[in-house]
Structure formats: structure tokens, C-alpha cells
Amino acid sequence: MGKLRVFEIVFDNGKSVYNPSELVNGKCIVDLRGDMKMKTLRILMRGVAKVHWTESRSTGNRLGAYTEHYNAEIEYFLKRQVLFGSETGDGREVLTEGRHEFHFSFQLPSGGISTSFEGKYGSIRYWLKAEMEKPWTFNHKAKKAFTVICPIDINRSEYLVPVENNMEKVLCCWCCTSGPISLYARTDRKGYCPGESIAITADFENLSSRTIIPHATLHQTQTFLAGGKSRTRHSKYTIVTGLAIQPGRTTSWDAQLLKIPAVTPSIINCCLIRVDYAVRISLQIPGAYNLSMDLPVLIGTVPLRPANYRHMTPVLENGNEIPESPMYYQPAPPYSEIDMSSIPVEPPPTYAECVEGSVDIADEDDDNIIGDTRFTPMYAYVHSYHHQPPPAYSEIDPQSRPQYSYSSEIS
């Protein structure tokens, strides 16, 4: 690298995960073995969603097949700062020998952007690129990506309700029909964060003549859109297998836990890429198609606050129960009645690297990049999670004020 000993981008306080509207602060470090002439030293911050895949097409004649490309791209933002020199300079600026630190600060948009994502057919990526433009020679570049997480709060009421479904199947063999195989399953709620476990309640009834085996799997569906077409990719993560169910027997799961690894949160606000999750409950049936159904769940970024997760019997002022609503929320007291000193401070979130691993963020125009260009997204992760079943209705006083407590491990 000649006179250039070090050229890198460093985030302040080692931070690499940001939320919308936050400041991305850091410095560009340059260490020279001798004086260097340059026109400018600039840094830019860019956010872009991009998809690409190919499909083989047949021409229907002797010319054979051809490959059709599908591409789409949305640029969320592109911001620049000049750290040294001038964009219109003549290249006579001299950066002296030694170590130099050039500080930068960019603000992320408050909306209109999506959570970082790396997939087989597309990505949502945010990065910084520093470029040292020198006269009469090639430019030096340094590139570094960071994670943006758009908050999805699973404490919202619509994510606290259970998801349930049931199915039945009758096996036929020639002219013989066996008894039905049926299943009913329910999750304890709809919204979760990585690191938590999904508590599954299920009933299995096997009135057939075959032995069946129950399974539960966390399924992810990635959908990519471009040119009026779509491409889908399915992945499965944690798998739980139950005991075999003999003919004529029934069995149940009571809060069977399905662990959620450090996966991408649900992405529902990007017009090019969508990421959805479901718990698939299936019964493996020998010699027949399996019986299976999906319970859609949402993977969020703001962990559950225990005080919010209370299955209460709704009660009217006259003492009558409301049978159709599964929850009861006490109205918030006026500000004058709140003792702010009694409200606990939530610990900072913890993060874990995505289970999909690292990717190379170098693009086709990123020649002469200095340093490592591998990047692994980081997502909110709940450590030391312990499932706590909701209290029995008889144990709940609907007139009492909820007691707030938090448990988290800071890493």
C-alpha cells in the first residue's frame, strides 16, 4: 500500500447496531509512513434494498435456453461528508506522515427504512465507505457495514394474543377407511424475540391404524419481488419431535418449548423483500402425506415486558365478565398519580450475530478496498429466557395494579 499503513473506519464506542433517527458517529483513521498528496478524503453513508435472481427460459426451438435476470433496487439514503481536502481541489493538499483521525457524524432517517437483512436473492444493507482520492493514481477505499433495526414491539396487544388452529385427516387404503387423525395446537402468544421460546399447547388424536409422530418446527419464508415476479425461499430452524402416538391413542403437549435462534426479525415494511415466520405443527404418517398446519408468528425486536403478559378475565364495573375478550388492561393513571422513581429502568438490549453467518459486502465497483469486507448482521437477543406460564384466573385480582419487574442479562 506504499505510504498508507492504516486506512479504516471505526464506530464510536464500538457500536454497530442502530435504530432509525439515531446518529452514526465514528472516525476514519489514516496512518501514513510519509507525506501524501491527495485531492480529497470523503466518506459516504448509504442504505439500499436490492434483489436479484435469474431464471432459465426455453426458446422452444433449436436455439436452446436463455437466462433471464430479475433486478430491483431502492435507495433509502445517500449522504456524504468531506473529511480532508476539497471535492473541487487540484490535488495539492498534503496529509503529513503519522496517524490522523477524522471524525464524522450522520443521522439515520426516522422512517421509511427497513431492518438489515442478508438473503440468497437480496439484501437490505447499510454501510459507510471512505475514499481517498489521489491525483494521477488509483483511489484507496475502506468500507464497513452496520446493522439497522426498525423496532417491532411485541408488547402491543395484537402480538400478545394466542394463535390457534385445528385440522383432521382420514386415511384411505383402497376401499378401506380408517378412523381420523386430528390435531389442535395453540401458541401462548403471537409475538416473540430471538432468544425466547414459543410455548406450544397441542392435542393429538390418532384413531387410525398407524403409528404417528408429532413435530414442531420454526419456519421462515423469504419473499423477493422484482419485475412483477416473485421468488420465495423457505428455511427451517428449531425442530421439536414428540413421542410416537400408537393407534387409538391420544396425547397432549403442555407448553412444549420451541427455541428461537438469532434470526432476522420479521420484515413487513419493505416493498422488495418480506420475511415471515410460522410454527409448523405436523404429524408424520407412514405411507401417507403428513398432516400439518402453520401458526403464523411475528419475530420482533423489543422483548416482552413480563408485566404486560397477563391473561386476565375482563371485568366490567358492575362485576360481570366479558366472555369474548381474552385480556383486561387497567387504564393508565393520570401523570399526577405516577411516582416516576418507582418505575424501573429497562436494561440496554443485547445482541447476537445472525445464525445465517457473514457475507461479503464488496460490490462490483469496490476495487482497491482495504481491510476486511465480511459482515454479519446483529439482532436483538433475549438471554437467559425462562418461560413463565400465565397465572390461573383464580389467582388474579383484576383490580390490582400490575407489578413491573425486568430480568435481562447484559453482555
When pLDDT is averaged across residues 133-159 and rounded to a whole number, the result is: 91
**Average confidence (pLDDT) over 322-330:** 39
- Report whether pLDDT(311) > 80: no
Mean pLDDT of 376-383: 91
Confirm whether 334 is domain-assigned.
no
Instruction: For residue 14, report the phi and psi dihedrals to the nearest 5 degrees.
Output: 65, 15
Check whether residue 35 and residue 72 sit in a common domain: yes
What residues have CB less than 8 Å from 302, skipping those under 6 apart? 151, 152, 153, 154, 155, 193, 380
pLDDT band at 330, cuts 50/70/90?
Answer: very low
Q: Indicate which CATH number applies to the domain containing 191.
A: 2.60.40.640
Of 43-47, 173-177, 267-271, 312-316, where does mean pLDDT reach its minimum?
312-316
- State the Cα–Cα distance between residues 159 and 189, nearest whole angstrom: 6
What's the full length of the chain, in residues? Answer: 411
Kindly state the cell numbers that stand for 82. Answer: 468531506
pLDDT at 396 over 50: no
Q: Do residue 118 and residue 217 come from a single domain?
A: no
- SS3 letters across 321-387: ECCCCCCCCCCCCCHHHCCHHHCCCCCCCCEEECCCCCEECCCCCCCCECCCCEECCEEECCCCCCC
Can you give the pLDDT at residue 364? 80
C-alpha grid cell, residue 27? 472516525
Q: Averaged over 292-301, what is the pLDDT? A: 95
Q: What is the pLDDT of residue 390?
A: 53
Query: Does some domain include residue 409?
Result: no
Check residues 87 and 10 and name the one with the higher pLDDT: 10
Q: Confidence band (pLDDT; 50, 70, 90) for 350?
A: confident
Q: In this structure, are 169 and 108 located in the same domain?
A: no
- Per-residue confidence (pLDDT) for residue 170, from 0 to 100: 83
Per the model's pLDDT, the better-predicted residue between 305 and 146 turns out to be 146
- The mean pLDDT value for 93-100 works out to 92
282, amino acid identity: S
CA-only gyration radius of the chain, Å: 28
191 and 281: one domain?
yes
- Write down the pLDDT at residue 403: 34
Whether residue 100 is found in the same domain as residue 185: no
Q: How many CA atoms lie within 13 A of 363 on its CB side?
A: 15
In b/e form, how buried is each residue of 36-66, taking b as 16+ CB within 10 angstroms?
bebbbbbbebebbbbbebeeeeeeeeeeeee
Give the span between the Cα atoms of 55 and 247, in whole angstroms: 46
Considering the domain architecture, whether residues 208 and 76 belong to the same structural domain is answered as: no
> Are residues 33 and 1 in contact, defined by beta-carbon separation less than 8 angstroms?
no
User: Would you state the pLDDT for residue 349?
Assistant: 73
Q: Structural domain of residue 268, as residue ranges?
A: 157-299
Task: State whether 168 and 129 are in the same domain.
Answer: no
Residue 381 forms part of a structural domain: no
Give the confidence band of 385 by pLDDT, cuts at 50, 70, 90. Answer: low
Bridge-based pairing of strands 65-85 and 140-148 is unpaired
Query: For 238-290, what is each residue's pLDDT tens digit?
Result: 999 999 999 999 999 999 999 999 999 999 999 999 999 999 999 998 888 88
Does residue 164 sit in the same domain as residue 145? Answer: no
Q: Name residue 56's amino acid.
A: S
> Which stretch of 4-18, 60-74, 136-150 has the lowest confidence by average pLDDT?
60-74
Domain boundary among 282, 299, 316: 299
Give pLDDT, residue 309: 56
Average pLDDT, the chain: 83
User: Is position 105 within any domain?
Assistant: yes
Dihedral over Cα of 91, 93, 97, 99: its sign = negative
The answer to whether residue 343 sits within a structural domain is no
Q: In terms of domains, do 10 and 141 share one?
A: yes
pTM of the complete model? 0.81
Taking residues 141-157, report their average pLDDT: 94
- Residues 111 and 165 grouped into a single domain: no
Per the structure, the count of domains in the chain is 2
**Domain boundary residue, one of 299, 334, 362:** 299
pLDDT at 91: 62
342 is a domain residue = no
Specify if 263 maps to a domain.
Answer: yes
Average pLDDT over residues 344-373: 82
Give the rounded distance of the alpha carbon of 103 from its chain centre: 30
Q: Please write the tens of the pLDDT for every residue from 171-229.
A: 765 555 667 889 999 999 999 999 999 999 999 999 988 899 999 999 999 999 999 99
In a domain, 30, yes or no: yes
**DSSP assigned state of 228:** T
- Residue whose grid cell is 420465495: 232
Give residue 366's pLDDT: 78
Whether residues 276 and 361 share a domain: the answer is no
Task: Give the whole-number percent of the chain exceeding pLDDT 70.
Answer: 79
pLDDT category at 388 given cuts 50, 70, 90 is low
Query: Three-class SS of residue 164?
Result: strand
Please check whether residues 166 and 109 belong to one and the same domain: no
